[in-house]
Structure 1
Amino acid sequence: IDLVQTSCGFGVPYMKYVGERDQLGPWAEEKGKEGIEMYWEEKNVTSLDGHPTGIFEKNSDKI
């Protein structure tokens, strides 16, 4: 096994549809725009295999 990933599951529907999950909205609201941007910078600068994504260089005007 080279890589195993986990997910918080906040945006994933239940196996038997019983409704929408509501954790993601409040989590994002609590972080605010600056907190979300910091989270993106922490989590999205490298790919799963460790390569630079370049996401902030390409999209710096969209943040």
Structure 2
Amino acid sequence: MTREGRYRWRTRLRRGLPWFLVDRGIAGKGTADCGAHEWYNHDGVVARCYHCEVGERSWR
């Protein structure tokens, strides 16, 4: 897949919004698979994708 994935614009928008708006669902993560996951450590056990809710794996 190209470097510019399906939900990249939402991720860029979330970076500039205050967290209370993001928590209310403004520019939330996409519900479908983005196709180009980029991972972050969510809680020391689970890694999640920055761009979609589908992307989840163990953190190790």
Identify the TM-score tier after normalising by the shorter chain. Answer: under 0.3
Task: Identify the structure with bigger relative contact order (alpha carbons < 8 Å, sequence gap 6+).
Answer: 2
TM-score (norm 1): 0.27
Greater helix percent: which structure?
1
TM-score with structure 2 setting the length: 0.27
Greater per-residue strand proportion: 2
